[in-house]
Amino acid sequence: MGDSLGKLRAAAVQAASVYLDREATVEKACHLIRECGAKGADFIVFPESYIPGYPFWVWLLPSFEGMDFAKELYKNALVAGSEATQRLGEAARAARAYVVMGCTERQGTALFNSIFFFNREGELAARRRKLRPTHAEKLVWGDGDGSDLFTVEGDFGIFGGMMCGEHFMDLCRYSLYAMGEQVHAALWPGVSAITHFPRYERYFNDFTEVSSRHHAIAGGVFTVSAYGVADEATVAKLGYADRPEMMRVGGGRSAIFGPSGEVLAGPIEDKEGVIFADLDLEDAISARQIRNAVGDYARPEVLSLHLNPKRQRVLVEEEPPRNPHMLEGNPFLLEEEHGGDE
């Protein structure tokens, strides 16, 4: 008889944020989560920085001209343990689903491009940050570190997630394979709505779709790929309602791929919507029999990956702190010394 592997219904949400409005975007996200749950979804993936919206302006404006938008991003960023985070958890619990939420996270005074992983009980089970913001994104987001490479164990199997350009970091992808990833969440922004860079408008969806499919094929994993969308309100808020040569309404090409790269759902392109696919993890067995990136196709005596999982902090107290009252609630102290915040 043997073991049976998990089954699940996955959902990829392609949606526009209520741009730079955390509370309204959280409300919309909770509505979408409940809708997906009503349709039987077990695993719901949202786009990159869905809350409170992707910082399109970093690709469109000189840095100082984008300062007002950067201030709004800061004030509307998601904070772990906040009321907004709790509302998302309540929606996940009501849907009885795992939720993979892309957000701009604020910790202390710093912003990060993050994924919040909620479990079926509505708990914030894990949080990871993008290892390196891509090009102009460095204007608004800080770096993650080795502690942000991990997988999460769900009741159906093991899942992980990455954002946008991390899919071009082959060692980053391989680390998730090596940690047993079976279902992968690929979070992307809807930057194909940016017409100012014709290469992005024409090719972004193509090369990101290839990246998601390649991750599925190379690892023998299911990949749920979710993109953002720029709606009319977003384009207008950014000041490009009458500037089609700079930005347009649309973006995104969400899809769900099987472990041999086959399309299981989608793609949905240039509009909002949700796609679903029923996944049977047993379907990955044959793919891994042919090529197992961490099994028969691994040659650790020739090639291996070294991972430094230590969290990097901007303040490390080598000696007893000068003012012990400063310790409480400080997220930047070395956790091995002072217990940390996680």
Q: What is the pLDDT of residues 57-114, one digit of tens each?
A: 999 999 999 999 999 999 999 999 999 999 999 999 999 999 999 999 999 999 999 9
Are 58 and 26 a contacting pair, CB within 8 Å? Answer: no
Strands (E), the chain: 7-14, 43-45, 98-107, 110-118, 124-129, 152-153, 158-163, 183-188, 222-227, 253-257, 263-269, 273-280
Pairwise CA distance, residues 290 & 199, whole Å = 36
Of 127, 164, 166, 167, the residue nearest 147 (C-alpha): 127
Strand order in the sheet with 98-107: 124-129, 110-118, 98-107, 43-45, 7-14, 273-280
Pairwise CA distance, residues 212 & 164, whole Å = 10
Structural domains of the chain, ranges and CATH numbers in brackets: 7-290 (3.60.110.10), 312-342 (no CATH)
Q: What percent of the chain lies above the pLDDT cut of 70? A: 93
pLDDT at 118 over 70: yes
Pairwise CA distance, residues 226 & 14, whole Å = 6
Q: What is the pLDDT of residues 241-270, one digit of tens each?
A: 999 999 999 999 999 999 999 999 999 999
Q: What is the mean pLDDT of residues 195-210?
A: 86
Give 21-33 as a 3 state SS string: CHHHHHHHHHHHH
Pairwise CA distance, residues 160 & 143, whole Å = 19
**pTM (two decimals):** 0.91
Are 281 and 5 a contacting pair, CB within 8 Å? Answer: yes
pLDDT at residue number 341: 44
pLDDT at 191 over 60: yes
Q: What is the mean pLDDT of residues 134-162?
A: 96
pLDDT at residue number 156: 97
Active-site residues: which are they?
48, 130, 164
